[in-house]
Amino acid sequence: MTGPAGTGPARTGLRGAVSRTASRIRPWRLAAESAAVAVALAVAFPLYWMVLSAFKPAGEVRSAQPVPWTLNPSLDAFRRVFGQQEFGRYFLNSLLVAGTVVVASAVIAFLAATAVTRFRFRLRTTLLILFLVAQMVPVEALTIPMFFLMRDVGALNSLLSLILPHLAFSLPFAVWMLRGFVKAVPEALEEQAVIDGASRTRFLWQILFPLVFPGLVATSVFSFISTWNDFLFAKSFIISATENSTLPMALLVFFDTETPDWGGVMAASTVMTLPVLVFFVLVHRRLVSGLGGAVKD
């Protein structure tokens, strides 16, 4: 995915090194490339099967001799999914929760990442270690105290009870990953801005923020996914107000039976995967460079 940009000097270097033995290498490369294509097909197969099964008519999904194609694609499964009570509402709830978490955690993490990369202060290293340790906290184990906390603040059964915990859980990793992006902005720029008379606040929002924005988007993928994914909190905190439920709950309705409606499950899975996939494809370049940054530091 690093594409042409990544195939710079290192590549030619490698080429140069192996060119002496090129004739001996060629069959190997052919084998390697066949292996790569085989791997790509195998890895993509589950997703292909998911979309395929979503479009297959019910009879073909429940066939004992499944075939990897369909001659009469149908939208029946999608109709069943969208016809399900309030599915659209669940979808919107999911979007709303994930969207709020993404925006809020991006802004908060941006400020925190700026603090720990642009300033030297006592406890800085301690804080960084705390952010690292916070990532280790098993979210699911906190379901119990979180449940009581949400009950005590009266957020139970509302979307807020999904937004708040996910905000807390996605922050540490977001801060951790954003550090690299903030650090990449040259210090000289800040000095220049100050000389030009910009206040710190102005520098922060009008110069630093736009520069770090691509990194923010990449970081957001992780908050988005973990929030979008969540069914545990939705299951535990949204007890009586089903109108505040989210997409995974709708998916599990089709899944959690003795005889699952596989067409429906696959259609709902497709609907649920699609937004994430789109998000991913849009930001994947930054994602890779961002991870590189998070990893290298």
Stretch 12-71 residues interacting with other proteins (CB under 8 A): 12-14, 16-18, 28-29, 32-33, 35-37, 39-41, 43-44, 46-47, 49-50, 53, 61-66, 68
Which CB, 37 or 241, lies closer to other proteins? Answer: 37
142 interacts with other proteins by CB under 8 A: yes
Q: Which of 85, 88, 191, 243 binds other proteins (CB under 8 A)?
A: 191
154 interacts with other proteins by CB under 8 A: no
Amino acid at 120: R
74 interacts with other proteins by CB under 8 A: no
112 interacts with other proteins by CB under 8 A: yes
Cα dihedral: 61, 63, 64, 70 (round 10): -70
149 interacts with other proteins by CB under 8 A: yes
* Distance, C-alpha 18 to centroid of its chain: 38
Report 196-255 residues binding other proteins (CB under 8 A): 196-202, 225, 228-229, 231-232, 236, 248, 251-252, 255
81 interacts with other proteins by CB under 8 A: no
Pair 204, 117: CB distance under 8 Å: no
Q: How far is CA 71 from CA 55, 57, 104, in A?
A: 10, 9, 46
Which CB, 62 or 79, lies closer to other proteins? Answer: 62
> To the nearest whole angstrom, how small is the minimum distance from the Cβ of residue 17 to other proteins?
4
> To the nearest whole angstrom, how small is the minimum distance from the Cβ of residue 34 to other proteins?
8
> To the nearest whole angstrom, how small is the minimum distance from the Cβ of residue 71 to other proteins?
17
> To the nearest whole angstrom, how small is the minimum distance from the Cβ of residue 86 to other proteins?
19
Handedness of CA 76, 78, 81, 84 (dihedral sign): negative
Q: Which of 140, 154, 205, 206 binds other proteins (CB under 8 A)?
A: 140
Which CB, 80 or 118, lies closer to other proteins? Answer: 118
- For other proteins, which stretch binds (CB under 8 A), given 75-83, 84-92, 209-217, 270-278? 270-278
Query: How many alpha carbons fall within 13 Å on the CB side of residue 191?
Result: 3
CB atoms within 10 A of CB 173: 20
Q: Where are the alpha helices (DSSP H) in the chain?
A: 3-6, 9-19, 22-55, 58-61, 76-83, 87-118, 124-136, 143-152, 160-184, 187-195, 200-202, 209-229, 232-237, 247-255, 262-296
Report 166-185 residues binding other proteins (CB under 8 A): 167-169, 171-172, 175
282 interacts with other proteins by CB under 8 A: no
Determine the Cα–Cα distance for residues 77 and 262; give it in Å rounded to an integer: 9
- Give the phi and the psi of residue 84 in degrees, each rounded to 5: -60, 145
Pair 275, 247: CB distance under 8 Å: no
120 interacts with other proteins by CB under 8 A: yes
